[in-house]
């Protein structure tokens, strides 16, 4: 019977063999390998102790390694962390596409940027608002034009269709609408993460999860006064952050819409043609024209008329030129926009930022909710290589090195972008949106009911793009990664309790202080710890000095040498200061008083 049955064994399907038997077989194989490893280890140690020839020793070592690797494979296949014989997949330790971690040094730079931005927001009279990171999907849809496809949808959550917020503007409008139009005059700011399912360019601060800082003025004010206030705020922030030379490109949706109308664009195509024009900062006119005519069905003659207008850019003198254009001035929308821009330029002169702005008719801003002034701030790194971000420069070249894209392998994948051929983009942008709050009111009120309208104008600062500009030169500018001002040390016996007591006293006095959490640390180790954080004051305790009521303070400095930050070596052993006068001594020092936002160099 056995001989008849044996040849059939290989043909028995694997699933017909009980799982418990398969696990037992694998466990037995694992135990055999463990015994072999023990025996081989003994052989290897014996050869090593006897000073055997190198060849035999290497052979024994190789065999031992092979056995250990085989044990690892057998252990993984034996059911440890596996189910039903399936091998457990290794965890891929990486962040999701379009997101990244920021280390302590980077976060200090980012926090510095946020501090400057928030300080300017409050200086301009703003109050803080916080809205949920996700919204009902119907709140977000229909507000972003062609960019609506970039909204991150969430799966059905307890009966609600949700999505991650795309910006701060729409949630603010929803918030104002929920107040019922009672908030007639306000300045509101928000800082937080927003999400877009775009192709990321990480090195340029263009990500799927990124931080924006918004400042918005709502309510009925005199024309263009809040608009000028917003542009002035943006210029103030960028100047304080030292992003380098920047230009604020200005246009008006009323002028843009009127221009499209006089050129012959039908009303239903204005928004989609506007979206195409908005790409002129990164694509040549020939490509934009091809999109308008071949992809969006615009007549070629109409496209050529548009091309004559969108190539116009300059300062207030461009406004004078447009006022003499009888065709454009015959359009009510365009005329209103030109009048508004005239008022804006007058107020920007009073704010003393007129030299920072440029009137650029190619600026369109693709979002659907803008109704009047639109603007964006650009720097040299904003445009792709071969293009100029300067709003006063000549139009983008017709030829040049295009951005390389790796085609997606499947429908679920995104194209990969050659980051070397992509610019940072605008670092701040915004505009007027007078109808968005009213749109929410109307949708909530129902048909036939009058909806309150709350005009708004605002700016959004791209914190990640600003960080991408500042971080490469952060250390070169002498910036630190911590705010610690004092490092308390001890010579000799450790004096742990005395160090802790002094640390607490300094912290209570508002002086950021640290120490090495060891009982008896060596003095060089303490100095090394303080120097890693570039702490300017080393306070050294000694048993004899403490009995005399004294401490030793050594001031440390750093300087930029050959483009790198280095500690300034000094033979100075420090000065003795009375223990009870230490707080006042530190606060009176020039280093403490001049230190600001992490900048501390010799």
DSSP 206: B
For domain 486-597, is the CATH number 3.40.50.800?
A: yes
Burial of 212 (0-12, 13-18, 19+ CB in 10 A): buried
Strands 313-314, 405-406: pairing kind: unpaired
The confidence score (pLDDT) of residue 352 equals 97
* Phi, psi angle pair for 436, to nearest 5°: -65, -45
Q: Pinpoint the residues of the chain covered by CATH 3.40.50.800.
A: 486-597
Structure confidence at residue 402 (pLDDT): 45
Contact call for residues 275 and 256 (beta carbons, < 8 A): no
Q: Could you tell me which CATH number the domain at 104-384+422-475 has?
A: 3.30.930.10
The 3-state secondary structure of 219-272, one letter per residue: CCCCCCHHHHHHHHHHHHHHHHCCCCCEEEEEEEHHHHHHHHHHHCCCHHHHHH
Give the per-residue pLDDT at 448: 60
Q: And the tokens for 103?
A: 């280390």
CA–CA separation, 370 and 277 (whole Å)? 15
3-state SS, one letter per residue, for 299-327: CHHHHHHHHHHHCCEECHHHHHHHHCCHH
Question: CA-CA distance, 481 to 474, in Å (whole number)?
Answer: 9
Q: Residue 118: enclosing H or E segment and its boundaries?
A: helix 104-123
Give the contacts of 137 (CB within 8 A, at least 6 positions apart). Answer: 151, 153, 154, 161, 162, 163
* CA neighbor of 192 nearest in space, from 122, 114, 256: 114
Q: At what angle do helices 436-445 and 169-178 cross, to 10 degrees?
A: 50
Altogether, the residues listed in the chain come to a count of 602
Return residue ranges of the chain for CATH 3.30.930.10.
104-384+422-475
The pLDDT of residue 399 is 37
- Residue 358: its pLDDT value, please? 94
pLDDT of residue 101: 93
pLDDT given for residue 1 in this prediction: 41
Q: What is the pTM of this model?
A: 0.76
Angle between helical axes of 300-310 and 253-263 (0-180°, round to 10) = 140
**What is the pLDDT, as a whole number, of residue 544?**
93
User: What are the distances in angstroms from CA 556 to CA 521, 539, 568, 571?
Assistant: 20, 11, 7, 11
Rounded CA separation 195/209 (Å): 5
pLDDT averaged over consecutive 10-residue blocks of the chain (602 residues)?
A: 42 50 60 87 81 75 84 68 62 90 90 95 97 92 81 81 93 91 85 91 84 95 96 97 93 94 89 85 86 89 91 89 93 95 96 95 84 93 58 42 45 50 80 92 75 89 93 78 92 93 96 95 94 92 94 89 80 90 93 63 37
């Amino acid at each position: 019977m056995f001989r008849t049955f044996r040849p059939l064994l290989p043909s028995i399907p694997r699933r017909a063999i009980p799982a418990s038997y398969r696990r037992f077989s694998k466990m037995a194989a694992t135990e055999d390998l463990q015994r072999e490893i023990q025996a081989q280890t003994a052989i290897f140690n014996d050869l090593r102790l006897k000073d055997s020839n190198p060849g035999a020793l290497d052979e024994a070592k190789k065999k031992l390694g092979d056995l250990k690797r085989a044990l690892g494979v057998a252990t993984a296949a034996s059911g440890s962390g596996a189910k039903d014989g399936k091998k457990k997949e290794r965890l891929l330790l990486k962040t999701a596409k379009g997101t990244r971690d920021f280390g302590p040094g980077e976060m200090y730079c980012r926090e510095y940027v946020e501090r400057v931005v928030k300080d300017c927001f409050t200086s301009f009279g703003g109050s803080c608002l916080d809205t949920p990171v996700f919204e009902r999907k119907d709140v977000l849809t229909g507000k972003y034009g062609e960019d609506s496809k970039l909204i991150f949808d969430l799966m059905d959550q307890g009966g609600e269709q949700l999505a991650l917020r795309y910006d701060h503007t729409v949630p603010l409008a929803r918030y104002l609408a929920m107040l019922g139009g009672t908030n007639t005059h306000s300045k509101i700011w928000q800082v937080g993460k927003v999400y877009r399912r775009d192709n990321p360019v990480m090195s340029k601060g263009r990500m799927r999860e990124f931080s924006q800082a918004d400042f918005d003025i709502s309510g009925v004010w005199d024309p263009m006064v809040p608009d000028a206030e917003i542009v002035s705020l943006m210029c103030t922030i960028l100047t304080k952050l030292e992003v380098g030379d920047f230009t604020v490109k200005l246009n008006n949706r009323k002028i843009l819409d009127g221009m499209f109308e006089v050129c012959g664009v039908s009303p239903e195509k204005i928004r989609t043609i506007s979206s195409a024009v908005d790409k002129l900062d990164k694509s040549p006119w020939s490509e934009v024209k091809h999109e308008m005519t071949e992809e969006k069905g615009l007549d070629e003659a109409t496209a050529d008329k548009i091309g004559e207008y969108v190539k116009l850019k300059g300062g207030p003198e461009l406004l004078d030129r447009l006022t003499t254009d009888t065709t454009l001035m015959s359009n009510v929308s365009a005329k209103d926009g030109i009048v508004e821009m005239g008022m804006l330029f007058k107020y920007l002169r009073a704010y003393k930022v007129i030299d920072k702005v440029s009137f650029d008719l190619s600026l369109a801003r693709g979002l659907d909710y803008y109704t009047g002034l639109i603007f964006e701030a650009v720097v040299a790194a904003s445009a792709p290589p071969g293009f100029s971000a300067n709003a006063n420069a000549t139009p983008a070249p017709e030829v040049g090195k295009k951005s390389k894209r790796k085609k997606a392998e499947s429908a679920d994948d995104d194209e990969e972008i050659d980051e070397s051929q992509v610019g940072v983009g605008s670092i701040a942008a915004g505009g007027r949106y007078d109808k968005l709050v009213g749109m929410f009111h109307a949708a909530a009120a129902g048909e036939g009911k009058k909806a309150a309208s709350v005009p708004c104008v605002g700016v959004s600062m791209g914190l990640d793009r600003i960080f991408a500009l500042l971080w490469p030169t952060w250390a070169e500018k002498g910036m630190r990664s911590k705010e610690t001002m004092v490092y308390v040390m001890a010579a000799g016996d450790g004096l742990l309790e005395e160090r802790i007591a002094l640390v607490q006293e300094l912290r209570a006095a508002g002086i950021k202080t640290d120490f090495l959490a060891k009982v008896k640390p060596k003095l060089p180790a303490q100095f090394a710890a303080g120097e890693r954080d570039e702490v300017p004051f080393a306070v050294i305790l000694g048993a004899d000095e403490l009995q005399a009521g004294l401490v030793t303070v050594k001031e440390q400095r750093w300087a930029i040498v050959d483009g790198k930050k280095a500690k300034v070596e000094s033979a100075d052993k420090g000065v003795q200061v009375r223990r009870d006068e230490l707080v006042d001594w530190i606060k009176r020092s020039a280093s403490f008083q001049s230190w600001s936002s992490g900048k501390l160099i010799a």
